[in-house]
Structure 1
Amino acid sequence: MTKLAFVCQWFPPEPIEIPRNIALSLGSCGHEVSVLTGVPNYPTGRVAEGHRALELRMEEIDGLPVRRTPLYPSHDSGALGRIANYVSWAVSSALFGQRMLRAAEATLVYSSPATAALPAMVARRLWGTPYVLLIQDVWPDSVLSSGFIPGAMGRVVHRIIDAFVRRAYAWSDHVAVISPGMVDLLTARGVPREKLSVVHNWVPEEDQAGAATCAGDTHISLADRVGASADDRLFLYAGNHGRAQALDGVVRAFLDDRTAPAQLVLVGDGVTKKQLVKLAGNHPRVHFLAPVDRAEAGRLLEDADVSVVALADEPLFAVTMPSKVQSGLASARPMLVVARGDAASVVIEADAGAAAPPGDIDAIVEAVRTLLAATPDELTAMGSRGRDLYRSSMARAVGAARLSDLLDSAAQRRGSRGGHTAPTHPERKRS
C-alpha cells in the first residue's frame, strides 16, 4: 500500500466528478489516499454553504481525508478574477498543504488548472516527494486560445505560464495525459517521450450501468419528449452549448432535407443556445431540451440511436478527448463525431460510428446519412465495438491501474534515492 496525496483544486461538493472518481479508484487499488483541495466555489464563484473563503479545514468525504485551503472565490468570465482564483489557491495549498505532502510517498496532481502543480513542486523541492501530473488541459494553450487575455498582456502571461508548466513537467516523475495527441504535443515541447503515458478519463460506470434500470415510472423517453415516430432515428447531444462546441454546424446539417428522417435532440444550456434555437426556428427535426442531471442524461442516451460529440475547429481541440466520447462508447451507442483529431480518430479506428470536420456542412450531412443507412443490427454492432474499446482501454479498471503503477514507481524511485532529495534541473537544457 502506497501513501498518496491527491492534489486538485476542485472536489465535491463541487460538481466535478472526475477527481472524486480518481481518488476513490486509487483507494480501491489499495492505496491510502488523502486529498488536498480548495474551498468549494465552482461553478458559480460563490463559496458553498457551510464554508468560508479563508478557511482551513480537515473533513472526510466518501471516507477520504480532505484538507481544504483558502482561495479567492471566482468563476468570472474576466481574466483578473479567474487568475486570482487559480493563483490564490496554488499559493495557499503550497503553504498549508505541506504536512500532507511531506507525509505522502507520492503525489498525483490533477492538472486543471496547471497552477495546481505548485504545492507538489514545493514539496518536491523541500521533502523530495515525487509527483505525477495528470494533464487535463494543455496550458498555456487552453487558457489563452480564446483571447481570454488579449494583446501585450496576453503575451506576457503566456510566457509566464509556459515557463511554469515547463518547470512542472521537468520536476515531475511522470506525466499522464488524456489523449494520444497530447503525447505528440508535449513531446514537441521537450518532454521526453518515455516520461509520457496516456490515461484516459473514465465515466462513472456505476451510473452508466444503471442508467436503463433506474428510470422508474418518472422517466419520459426521448422519443416521447420530442414526438418522434418509430421510423425516426434519434441523434442526441447532451452537454454545454458553447462556442467550443460549434453546434451551429451540426444544427445546419439537420436542417438539410438530406438528413431526413434523422432527429437531432440537444439537451443542456450555454451561451450559444439562444442563437441555436433561433437558427433552428421551428424545424420539426431539431429539438432543444432543458438541462438534466447526469443520471437522467444517461437514461436519455440509452433512449437515443446515436450519440453526438462536437468540437470547434481549433488546434487545441484536436488533442482533446471530451468525456462525451467515453460516455457514448461505454453506453454502446454508435457515435457522430463532428471534430478533428483524437475524438474523431478513436471512433473511426474502432468502426464505432461516423465523423466529419466541424463547419463542413456537406460532410456532416454525409456522416448523418451513413448512420441513417445503417441497419439496426449494424448500429448495434458499431455500439458493441465502441463499448469493447472503452472496456479495453478507457474503463476505470484500466485507468486506475495505470495511475496506480505510475505512482507506485514514483514512490519506489523515491525510496531508492534515500528519501528527501532535491530535483535536478533538466529544463535548463531547453530554451
Structure 2
Amino acid sequence: MRILYITQWFEPEPTVKGIEFAKALAERGHQIEIVTGFPNYPSGKTYPGYRIGFYKREVMDGIVVHRVPLYPSHNGSSVGRILNYFSFMASAALFSLFRARRFDVVCCYPPITGGLAAIFATWLSRRPFLIDIQDLWPDSVVKSGMAGTRRMEKILALMCNFVYRRAARIIAQSKGIRTRLIERGVPPEKISVVYNWADERAAAPAGLADLSPYDFGAKFNIVYGGNLGRVQGLDVMVRAAHLARQRAPDLQLLLIGDGIESENLKQLVQRLGADNVRIAPGVPRTMIGDIFAASDVLALHLWSDPLFRITIPQKTQFYMAMGRPILIGVEGEAAEYVTQAGAGVAVPSDNVEAMADAMVQLAKMPKDRLADMGRRGQEAYWRIFSFSAAIAETESAFQKAIGDARGNAA
C-alpha cells in the first residue's frame, strides 16, 4: 500500500502520529511519504535549524518528508491562526495535486483544513482519502476563546460537513467523537475508532534528565506536563495547589511546558503567593519520562465543556503508560477510563475546591495504594490503547477505504 500522509504537524513538533507512526506502517511493508509544514508548534516560532522556504525535502529514519511553506503562528491571534491553517492547506494542496496519483490512498491529520487540502490533492487522481479527527471542529475552535470564532462557526460547520461527505473513511480518536459524527449525519459504517497511544519509549525513565531544578526533595509532587494553553484551564490546578497547601504542607505542583498561558500562570502564582507551585519550560520527550517517573501523581485538567466529554486527551494514555497515579479534572470518556481502571481520582472540571480535596486525598494516601493505582493504569493502557493495536486498526481503515473506492469505481 502506498500512502501519502498530509499533516500540518510532524517531527520535531510534538504530535501523536509522527515519525514512529510512519515507521510502523513502513515496517508493515507500506510505502509512506509525509507532506508537512516547517516546524513551529507550539510556540509559533520556527525551530532551530529551519527557515521558512518554498520547499525542503528531508529523510527521517528512512521516511521521505516534504516540507511546504506556511505562516508560523500559535498565539492568541485569530488572524494569525487562520493564516497558519490556511497557508498550510494551500501549500499542501498544491504540492500534492500531481503527487497524489503515485499513491493508493491519502490520509490527512487534523485540523480540518488538511481535509480540504486532501480533497484538492485527490481531485485529478481520484484517489480515496481519509481524515483523522482528533478535535471536533467547529466546536473546539469556538471554545478556544479566540476573537471572532463564533462568527465563523457556521462557515466552519459547512466546511467540516463538506470534508466528511467527500472522505472515503473517517478515523475518530474516541467513541464519543464517533457518536457525535453520526449525529451530524456521517454514516456509521464510514467511521473507524482508533484510540491514540502513548510514546511507549518515552513513557519510561531513561536517566537523561537533570531533576535538580525541580526540587522534588521530600515533597509530594503532583506533575503536569504539556501545553500551557487556555483550554487546559491550569489556573484551576494552581489555585487548588495553593488551597491544598494548608492541609498538605509537603504538596508541590509542577507545571512543565510552554504555551500562550505560560506568563499568565506565572503571574497568578506570584499574586497568590503560591510558593508550592513551580512552572518550568518544556523538555524533550526523551527526558519527560524521567520527570514523570519521579512524580507521586500525574495531573491533567480541561475546561468544563460538552466537547471535552467526548475526547480523550493524549496525556491520559501517556500517564497510564507511565504507571503513575492520575488526578484527572476532565469529565466524560477520559475520566471513565481512569476511574474504571482504578488508576486514579477524577474531579469535575473548573472546580478548585474539588481539585484541592483530591490533591490532599492523594497526598495522604498510603504509598502502596498509590503504587497499585499506577499498576492498574499501566495494565489498562496495554489492554486498550497500545501502539501495536492502533497501527493494525489504522492499516485496516486504509485498506477499507481503498477497497470501497475500487468497489465504487467498478
- Give the TM-score, by structure 1 length: 0.85
Instruction: State the distance in 1 between where 2:52 and 2:256 align.
Output: 33
> Which has the larger displacement, 303-312 or 177-186?
177-186
Q: 2:138 aligns with which of 137, 140, 145?
A: 140
The aligned counterpart of 2:337 is 346
5+ residue gaps, structure 1, are: 420-431
> Which has the larger displacement, 338-347 or 246-255?
246-255
SS in 1 for 2:362: helix
1:198 deviation in Å?
2.3
Task: Determine if the alignment matches structure 1 residue 380 to structure 2 residue 371.
Answer: yes
- Structure with the largest fraction of helix: 1
Task: Determine if the alignment matches structure 1 residue 267 to structure 2 residue 253.
Answer: no
Aligned-residue CA RMSD (Å): 2.5
Instruction: State the distance in 2 between where 1:308 and 1:51 align.
Output: 33
Structure 1 residues 323 and 280: alpha-carbon distance in aligned structure 2, compared to 1, 3 A threshold: farther
Instruction: State the distance in 2 between where 1:219 and 1:59 align.
Output: 31
1:50 deviation in Å?
6.4
Task: Determine if the alignment matches structure 1 residue 161 to structure 2 residue 156.
Answer: yes
Code of the residue aligned with 1:117 in structure 2: it is: G
The aligned counterpart of 1:29 is 28
SS in 2 for 1:244: coil
The aligned counterpart of 1:207 is 202
The aligned counterpart of 2:63 is 64
Answer yes or no: is the 8 Å Cα contact 1:39–1:55 preserved in 2.
Answer: no
- Give the TM-score, by structure 2 length: 0.89
1:43 deviation in Å?
4.0
Answer yes or no: is the 8 Å Cα contact 1:9–1:38 preserved in 2.
Answer: yes
> Which has the larger displacement, 12-21 or 291-300?
12-21
Deviation readout 1:65-122 (Å, 9 max, x if unpaired): 22233333434532223212222221222222123322211122112x2101123212
Q: 1:390 aligns with which of 381, 390, 394?
A: 381
Structure 1 residues 122 and 378: alpha-carbon distance in aligned structure 2, compared to 1, 3 A threshold: same
SS in 2 for 1:245: coil
Answer yes or no: is the 8 Å Cα contact 2:235–2:265 preserved in 1.
Answer: no
Deviation readout 1:150-171 (Å, 9 max, x if unpaired): 2xxx455222221111111111
1:306 deviation in Å?
0.9
5+ residue gaps, structure 2, are: none
The aligned counterpart of 1:88 is 87
Q: 1:193 aligns with which of 183, 188, 192?
A: 188
Task: Determine if the alignment matches structure 1 residue 244 to structure 2 residue 244.
Answer: no
Instruction: State the distance in 2 between where 1:238 and 1:314 align.
Output: 21
Alignment of 1:102-141 (within 5 A): 102-111=101-110, 113-141=111-139
Structure 1 residues 268 and 54: alpha-carbon distance in aligned structure 2, compared to 1, 3 A threshold: closer
The aligned counterpart of 2:398 is 407
Structure 1 residues 41 and 237: alpha-carbon distance in aligned structure 2, compared to 1, 3 A threshold: closer
Instruction: State the distance in 1 between where 2:274 and 2:50 align.
Output: 45
Answer yes or no: is the 8 Å Cα contact 1:25–1:396 preserved in 2.
Answer: no
> Which has the larger displacement, 298-307 or 263-272?
263-272
Q: How many residues align?
A: 405
Code of the residue aligned with 1:118 in structure 2: it is: L
The aligned counterpart of 1:428 is none
Answer yes or no: is the 8 Å Cα contact 1:140–1:161 preserved in 2.
Answer: yes
